Amino acid sequence: MDKQSRHAAIKHIISHRLVGTQEDLRKALKSAGFGITQATLSRDLKDLGVARVNSPEGPKYVIHVESEERRLQSFIGLEIEQVDANESLVVVKTLPGRAQGVAEIIDSLHHPAILGTIAGDNTILVTPTSTKRNKEVMKLLQGLMMKKQVA
Amino acid sequence: MDKQSRHAAIKHIISHRLVGTQEDLRKALKSAGFGITQATLSRDLKDLGVARVNSPEGPKYVIHVESEERRLQSFIGLEIEQVDANESLVVVKTLPGRAQGVAEIIDSLHHPAILGTIAGDNTILVTPTSTKRNKEVMKLLQGLMMKKQVA
DNA sequence: CGCGGACATGTATAATTATACAAAAAAATG
DNA sequence: CATTTTTTTGTATAATTATACATGTCCGCG
């Protein structure tokens, strides 16, 4: 069997359809004329550096691009480490040195429940317009932090 | 236990070191003060959309960014503050210090109506391929600005 | 206050993936 | 060409991950 052709087929299949398990992929390969066992497929995926991702639509295999990792620090959801609140303020902990930048983004939301922010190095104090809206602000900011993917 | 803190710790750990199995990650979390079982960790990784990659150095967990272009647009909208134009240029105002980054994103669109960009601190000059396409470029960039998708 | 619902977690185990070992196939060598 | 070495593959199973089920916690409501 031609290993290169098989590798090309693997890349084609996972680029064009949602494939979540090796068994699914093995069957798709078989349909494409490449009959192999799970063991061989596992080795192929390793050779190809394929990634298995937990996506909103379930697990899926994707071609992994290294450079994607390097951009992760640009995104607010990954820069916010923790969101807490007391009765009158919401406190956001960020990666070191990112408080200012994250605070600016929070300000730019111009959210009606947010009065203002004060940022240090890795801590931001977010003031709600009313203590009654504290929870609302907190949920908003937690939503930012939890944003993992564009669904 | 505080799930948010734990998620932040997970993201921090896998961003800063090579972690290849859930058991390794579980131990790292335990060292960081988060004692959980493999089951809970599996759920966390699913929640976070983490990917497991076969890399040259062995398997590793990485923060997965689904699509670079789509993800960039999720946030660019928060960073563009204003879009204006005269007869020959479109001017984009950004958050302070973000002009370079936003300009890169605009460049990455490879839009046929955009010739190039020049970025300062919070201002980008966008040159259309023709003055006749000024309005088109302006609408495009205003469209980007309007994509404020949070939570 | 008690209750119900939502959420989170652990236990046990099913599902999925990786790999040791052996054999076969392909490539290299004299 | 025959032989040796390297690569590839399958089988069986170990390793790893995902999930069904049960339990505990927290919160809001009457």
Q: How far apart are the first and last CA of chain A?
A: 39
Provide the percentage of residues in chain B whose pLDDT is more than 90: 22
- Is B148's pLDDT higher than 60? no
Report which of B94, A104, B150 is spatially closest to residue A92, judged by C-alpha positions: A104
- Is A66's pLDDT higher than 70? no
What average pLDDT is seen over chain A?
77
pLDDT at B26: 95
Query: In this structure, are residues B4 and A83 in contact, taking their beta carbons and an 8 Å threshold?
Result: yes
List the CATH code of the domain at B3-62. Answer: 1.10.10.10
| The architecture CATH gives domain B68-146 | 2-Layer Sandwich (3.30)
Domain ranges of chain A: 3-64, 72-146
Which of A46, A78, A108 is closest, CB to CB, to B95? Answer: A108
pLDDT at B20: 92
What average pLDDT is seen over chain B?
78
Nearest nt (C1') from B34 Cα: C9
- Is A149's pLDDT higher than 80? no
How many of the other CB atoms lie within 10 Å of CB of A117?
Answer: 19
What is the CATH T-level fold of the domain A72-146, as seen in this structure? Gyrase A; domain 2 (3.30.1360)
A83 touches chain B (CB under 8 A): yes
What is the CATH T-level fold of the domain A3-64, as seen in this structure? Arc Repressor Mutant, subunit A (1.10.10)
- Is B149's pLDDT higher than 70? no
A97: left (phi over 0), alpha (psi -120 to 50) or beta: left
Higher pLDDT, B106 or B148: B106
- Is A58's pLDDT higher than 80? yes
Predicted ipTM > 0.85? no
A140 touches chain B (CB under 8 A): yes
Point out the residue nearest to D11 (C-alpha to C1'): A39
